[in-house]
Amino acid sequence: MLQRYLPIVEWLPSYDRHTLSQDLFAAVIVTLMVIPQALAYALLAGLPAVTGLYASMLPLVAYTLFGTSRTLAVGPMAIVALMTAAALSGIVATGTVAYSEAAATLAFLSGIMLMLMGIFRLGFFANFLSHPVVSGLLSASGVLIATSQLGNLLGISMSGFTLIDQLAGLATHWRDFNVPTALIGLGSLAFLMLMRRAGPTLRRLGMTATLSGFITKAGPIIAVMISTLLVWAFDLQAHGVAVVGEIPRRLPPLALPSFDPALISTLLMPAFLISLVGFIESVSLAQMLAAKRRQRISPDQELFALGGSNIAAAVSSSMPVTGSLSRTVINFDAGARTPAAGSFAALGVALVTLYLTPLIHFLPIATLAASIIVSTFTLLDARGLKRTWRYSKRDFAAMLATIVLTFVSGVEVGVMAGVGLSLALFLYTTSRPHSALVGRVPGTEHFRNVERYTTEHAPSVALLRVDESLYFANARYLEDTVYAMVAERPALKHVVLIGSAVNLIDASALESLEAINARLDDSQVKLHLAEVKGPVMDQLKQSDFLDHLTGEVFLSTYHAWEALRQEDAVVTPLQGDPPSRQN
């Protein structure tokens, strides 16, 4: 019990000086690297920049206690920040104390939901976000996030959480851009894009891969330093360049969030979607990294840990957090061995907040906007779009719906539409099952689709393989298929339903089987079953269907064929293609 909910008791006893030094090193790197990002995502969420620092303290400590991934780093994350802003925008005015309080309430609700889902082991909920929907969501919100920062980048005021609102804002106000802001913004953007691609060049100049990797990842901190110096030196603030400004030099105030019932009921759905999206991101990241080091994570405990982190965020005047891709990659590459590295990084951020914030007073918002825009490039997945189109039009439809609706109506609607459409298409597919008449591959005990293979068959025996579990949505369809087949074949005396692909027969399908059995009996045709799976047979025995069955239950299609084909001549194929590698 203790081990389940507090994985720290597993690794803490064997914690030694060597691990400590590795974790400490990683923490120093993470602290330096993620500060610009933390400030930027707080702004993206519509919150004061300092909230990003607060979100990088207590939540990290909570994850150290509860997390099962050795290297996952939690903190503010772009999509979650965007969803936070979208959830709060209609309810409270941006920039007010009430807005910050509502963000804490949102984190609290999300934390409670995640914890409950963890306790009740509902991690499988995340499985209902299909890969195409997640990929579509990441791409679309990447675009939304990038567009949302164009205002900050150019020094114009625009807002909106749909692409249409954003583009309309841009079209209306683009002439108002502030020259020094735009120069700093576009300059930072160009610099960051160059740094991202600088790796090969640096290595060609003789640097090791590790060093060049760190330098490219240090892009944001370098851009922050240079642009801050420029603003300070040339007093650009007086020329209209927005800066981070005064940051209170204190630790986050601890307080319970607001429990206003009206606020809570409005935020329930956004909190649920933020939890789900955050969990998916976090757990797939953690799984990927655990696989690299042959470690294991527990998705249900990850839910609990993320819940704990969000509650920690809520009581420290902060915002919803989750496992963050960029933070985690830096942490992993810097050699973090245990979740303790997260707590050390939290300590680092606290020290920065207490002693170094005057240094970032002149940090221009436009540079932060540039760093957000660059970070969205990793979200875009154009290749995935093309691959999915080629592989499955249905999956592509769900992906496209997610993208289009995220653009038109925001992330929440996009996710819900994507999940809804994925489920609807799956149900539709299973409601019209593929079925195949099979015949014997000559000289073997194998039976294959008569339309794909050259097979033997007998006019009085129909071997029908149903390629789907039988349940209410396709029960009537099965009836239609069987009746149509019987109507076409007057010589038929035996219908064998082959159950090798039938994993479930529910009560509605049982009714249909009973109807088929009775109706075939009226036409002097016997119904047989073959290759019924163990669990399905166990369930059929709970009904009296097998007592009424006019035919028999055969272990294999071959047994059925041997027993039933006796009655008439077998039609052997004269010619045909050689069997291919499929059935």
| Binders in 96-125 for a second copy, by CB under 8 A | 124
Minimum CB separation from a second copy for residue 400, in Å?
Answer: 13
Stretch that binds a second copy, among 65-73, 270-278, 334-342, 504-512 (CB under 8 A): 504-512
Minimum CB separation from a second copy for residue 520, in Å?
Answer: 11
Cβ atoms 241, 361 nearer than 8 A: no
Pairing of strands 553-554, 494-498: unpaired
Q: Which is nearer to a second copy, 196 or 519 (CB)?
A: 519
d(CA 166, CA 393): 30
d(CA 466, CA 67): 45
Q: Which is nearer to a second copy, 23 or 281 (CB)?
A: 281
d(CA 87, CA 412): 9
Cβ atoms 155, 177 nearer than 8 A: yes
Residue of the chain from 76, 132, 270, 323 that contacts a second copy (CB under 8 A): 132
Please state the separation of Cα 10 from the chain's center in Å. Answer: 28
Stretch that binds a second copy, among 57-65, 131-139, 166-174, 236-244 (CB under 8 A): 131-139
Q: Per-residue x/- mask for a second copy, residues 452 to 491, rule CB under 8 A?
A: x--------------xxx-xxxxxxx--------------
Which DSSP string corresponds to 397-456? HHHHHHHHHHHHH-HHHHHHHHHHHHHHHHHHHHHS--EEEEEEPTTSS-EEETTTS--B
Residue of the chain from 357, 531, 561, 564 that contacts a second copy (CB under 8 A): 531
How many chain residues are in contact with a second copy, going by CB under 8 A? 73
Minimum CB separation from a second copy for residue 1, in Å?
Answer: 22
Number of H helices, E strands in the chain: 27, 8
Q: Which parts of 544-563 interact with a second copy (CB under 8 A)?
A: 553-556, 558
Task: Retrieve residue 4's tokens.
Answer: 């389940």
Q: Which is nearer to a second copy, 135 or 266 (CB)?
A: 135
Cβ atoms 152, 366 nearer than 8 A: yes
Q: How many residues does the chain have?
A: 583
Q: Which parts of 334-373 interact with a second copy (CB under 8 A)?
A: none
Residues 6+ apart with CB under 8 A from 159: 89, 148, 151, 165, 166, 169
| Residue 279 within binding range of a second copy, rule CB under 8 A | no
Half-sphere exposure of 43 (CA within 13 A, CB side): 28
Judged by DSSP in three states, 190 sits in helix
Task: Retrieve residue 434's tokens.
Answer: 């593929």
Q: Which is nearer to a second copy, 156 or 401 (CB)?
A: 401
Q: Which is nearer to a second copy, 89 or 284 (CB)?
A: 284
Q: Which is nearer to a second copy, 207 or 501 (CB)?
A: 501
Minimum CB separation from a second copy for residue 450, in Å?
Answer: 11
Q: Which is nearer to a second copy, 250 or 292 (CB)?
A: 292
Q: Which is nearer to a second copy, 35 or 399 (CB)?
A: 399
Cβ atoms 381, 131 nearer than 8 A: no
d(CA 539, CA 143): 50
Minimum CB separation from a second copy for residue 118, in Å?
Answer: 16
Judged by DSSP in three states, 459 sits in coil
Minimum CB separation from a second copy for residue 472, in Å?
Answer: 3
Minimum CB separation from a second copy for residue 331, in Å?
Answer: 22
| Residue 168 within binding range of a second copy, rule CB under 8 A | no
Residue of the chain from 256, 259, 426, 576 that contacts a second copy (CB under 8 A): 426
Minimum CB separation from a second copy for residue 167, in Å?
Answer: 30
Residue of the chain from 4, 21, 128, 293 that contacts a second copy (CB under 8 A): 128
Q: Which parts of 190-219 interact with a second copy (CB under 8 A)?
A: none
| Residue 582 within binding range of a second copy, rule CB under 8 A | yes
Q: Which is nearer to a second copy, 467 or 567 (CB)?
A: 467
d(CA 433, CA 465): 11
Minimum CB separation from a second copy for residue 41, in Å?
Answer: 28
Q: Which is nearer to a second copy, 378 or 539 (CB)?
A: 539
**Which burial class, exposed, middle or buried, applies to 261 when counting CB atoms under 10 A from its CB (0-12, 13-18, 19+)?**
exposed
d(CA 277, CA 31): 25
Residue of the chain from 112, 221, 501, 570 that contacts a second copy (CB under 8 A): 501
Stretch that binds a second copy, among 98-106, 129-137, 156-164, 301-309 (CB under 8 A): 129-137
**Which burial class, exposed, middle or buried, applies to 246 when counting CB atoms under 10 A from its CB (0-12, 13-18, 19+)?**
exposed
Stretch that binds a second copy, among 19-27, 180-188, 248-256, 441-449 (CB under 8 A): 441-449
Q: Which parts of 282-341 interact with a second copy (CB under 8 A)?
A: 291
Half-sphere exposure of 542 (CA within 13 A, CB side): 8
Pairing of strands 494-498, 461-466: parallel
Pairing of strands 447-449, 435-440: antiparallel
| Residue 504 within binding range of a second copy, rule CB under 8 A | yes
